[in-house]
Amino acid sequence: MTFINYASREINCKIVYYGPGLCGKTTNLQWIYEKTNPNAKGKLISLATETDRTLFFDFLPLELGTVRGFKTRFHLYTVPGQVFYDASRKLILKGVDGVIFVADSQVERMDANVEAIENLMVNLKSQGYDLLNIPYVLQLNKRDLPNVATVDEMKKALQRKNPGEPVYEACAARGTGVFETLKGVAKLVLADLTKTQ
């Protein structure tokens, strides 16, 4: 749910990073946090366990500038990837404007990716959204590792839209593809606003 404040001329959008455990959702946010101009970002909040696994969510507010005289803010959230945190995952999707699915490219994580996408579709539905109709992009993370599935294999297994949703190859730990992915979904979210006419 985009929040448009005509009085203060601001628009706030909520973007959620979704994906299986240890796929690099938090790493994406950390990279964005490190590389963003201090004036444009707020604090990165991580509600994590003592072993740095996301417990509830990570949150990073970004202020990118103005579009048509409106101050544009993106609120980036990650969900906890571990299967048993499903109740928390569902809550974070409330009011989402755009979703980035971060897939782990390692061959042995393909089942986990598929399971997480199915879970995303179910949880979106429970909040009244349909994955096929919302701004959504797919990030293939960890492309630098040796044991990765090919891009074509991953697209075949993970793409849900027809024509396929935008796909970005990334290595979040080194920052490759991180901003491209964010820009990709931001574009879709803002473009989505034009359709409300």
Partner 1 sequence: MAAPDIVMYEEEFNQIKGIIAKLRVDANSKVVFLVDKNGQQIAAHGDIENLDTTSLASLTAGNVAATDGLARLIGEKEFSILFHEGEKDNIHISIVASRVILVVIFDERSSLGLVRLRVKKASEELNRVFSNIMAKVEKERASTGTTFESPFAEITDEDIDSLFS
Which chain residues interact with partner 1 by CB under 8 A?
A: 1-8, 11-12, 14, 42-43, 45, 47, 56-57, 59, 61, 64-65, 67-70, 72, 75, 87-88, 91-92, 94-95, 129, 133-134, 179, 183, 186-187, 190-197
Q: Nearest distance from residue 24's CB to partner 1, in Å?
A: 21
Q: Nearest distance from residue 59's CB to partner 1, in Å?
A: 5
Q: Between residues 77 and 101, which has the closer beta carbon with respect to partner 1?
A: 77
Q: Between residues 174 and 183, which has the closer beta carbon with respect to partner 1?
A: 183
Cα separation, 145 vs 70, in Å, equals 41
DSSP label of 63 = E
Alpha carbon distances (Å) from 140 to 16, 157, 166, 170: 16, 12, 11, 6
Closest CA to 145 of 93, 103, 94, 182: 103
Q: Nearest distance from residue 27's CB to partner 1, in Å?
A: 20
Residue 47 phi/psi, 5-degree rounding, is -95, 90
Q: Nearest distance from residue 39's CB to partner 1, in Å?
A: 14
Burial 175-190 (b: 16+ CB within 10 A, else e): bbbbbebbebbbebbb
